Amino acid sequence: MSNKKSPDEVLLDKFVNILLDNNAYEQADILQSMADAGEWAAGLDYSMLYCTDLGIVPDAGLLRSVLQSPWCEKDSDADEIGHALLKKAQASVAS
């Protein structure tokens, strides 16, 4: 049996690490629980909400991965916030 993680698990793991790096331990635990339960769509929504609440702008590549995920539902929090954060990430690189 393979222990290889799915792309969705890897994506949420990256956000768990971002939250941990920003001392958002409670949010990281909640997100990890969602990932463990396979709650990918909810996990992406919460990832985007947590980033917004904490003033975190993930790198553009990670945000593109979120927006391209099959679990990023059109007009969801992940979709709307992800697009807004992507604009911020691209603007900070351009400046």
pLDDT at 8: 78
50-95 residue pLDDT tens: 999 999 999 999 999 999 999 999 999 999 999 999 999 988 766 5
pLDDT at 94: 67
Q: What is the DSSP string of 16-49?
A: HHHHHHTT-HHHHHHHHHHHHHT-HHHHHHHHHH
